[in-house]
Amino acid sequence: MSADASRPPFPTTRIHCPRLAARLGVDLLLITESFQETGSFKFRAAWKLVSSVDSDLFLTASSGNFGQALARACELAGRRAIVVMPANGSRVKQQAVRDYGATVVLFDPELSSRAESLEALAREHPEGYVASPYDDPVVIAGNASLGREIAALAPDCASVLVPIGGGGLASGIVTGLGQAGLDRAVWGAEPERANDAARSLRSGRIERLSGEPDTLADGARTPSVGRHNWPILEQGLSGIVEVAEEDIAEAVRLLFSEANLKAEPTGALSVAALLSDPQRFHDGQVVAVVSGGNVDPELYARLISSR
């Protein structure tokens, strides 16, 4: 089957949650991609990529969500995918990539980086298209669809809070809001332990982390933002809120208990930012983007039961 570029991702989901809003002390609207194809926003980018690039084989490195999305997009389009994944990562995400028909190659983060592992894979498969989960104009264009949907669903909002790792989602939302003609403050939410994007905004240049940071938010373990993402983020972000690990865990629990919503730690970063710095978002409605809901059952059970 050939790729059908007209096949859209599912529309995003808007959730009004007065209990959570009262708990956080803000006028809150949740926008969640937990019900998107493959359980996160990544399918938007993956489908755009597979629909746009003429290749029978796609190669990527992923903590899990982009790997799942690329595997599913390739499955739908009759293509192949090989995904490099950290051996200490989410088993649920690893199995999902396999279930969608892709090949998983595990690497040890203590011995090599995901970039080095992907480079080795690309040497083995020179015919494959190396797909970045975030650092690609086509990926940004795919994620921009969420920005346009936010503009239609919340035209009167004052600000948008979005998780940030490599910057693919944040740059896509900035781009999509601009395409829709909506000029709103966009804020990133990033773990303190993986704060390369925040450091980059402060220094005015891309800052890199050494090694993979130890954070619950596995989707934010990227060493730096991408070179295609950086100009958009530098110009389009109002700032980045750096969040502590305990706030990430609390955000996952609150989304479950107060909004009846399953979120993975990376997906909960925007709510964690509201816990970390609520005063910053008191003026007007804030849209908090929950980017996905794929999380190991054992970890999720531990997070929602802790206080």
C-alpha distances (whole Å) from 287 to each of 73, 153, 261, 280 are: 28, 10, 15, 13
Report pLDDT for 147. 98
Q: For position 7, what pLDDT does the model report?
A: 54
Q: Quote the CA–CA distance of 219 and 2 in Å, as a whole number.
A: 30
Provide the pairing of β-strand 80-86 with 286-290. unpaired
What's residue 2's pLDDT? Answer: 39
- Enumerate residues 6+ apart whose C-beta is below 8 A from 4: 51, 77
| Per-residue model confidence as pLDDT tens for the chain (307 residues) | 334 444 558 999 999 999 999 999 999 999 999 999 999 999 999 999 999 999 999 999 998 899 999 999 999 999 999 999 989 888 888 999 999 999 999 999 888 888 899 999 999 999 999 999 999 999 999 999 999 999 999 999 999 999 999 999 999 999 999 999 999 999 999 999 999 999 999 999 999 998 788 999 998 998 999 999 999 999 999 999 999 999 999 999 999 999 999 999 999 999 999 999 988 998 899 999 999 999 989 999 999 997 6
* Cβ proximity of 144 and 136 under 8 Å: no
DSSP 257-283: HHH-----TTTTHHHHHHHH-GGGG-S
Output the pLDDT for position 278: 84
DSSP E strand boundaries for the chain: 13-15, 28-32, 57-61, 80-86, 103-107, 129-130, 159-163, 185-191, 237-243, 286-290
Separation CA 66–CA 34 (nearest Å): 14
Which residue in the block uniquely carries the two structure tokens 């003429």?
Answer: 54
Q: How far apart are CA 279 and CA 302, in angstroms?
A: 29
Domains and CATH numbers, the chain: 13-40+136-305 (3.40.50.1100), 42-130 (3.40.50.1100)
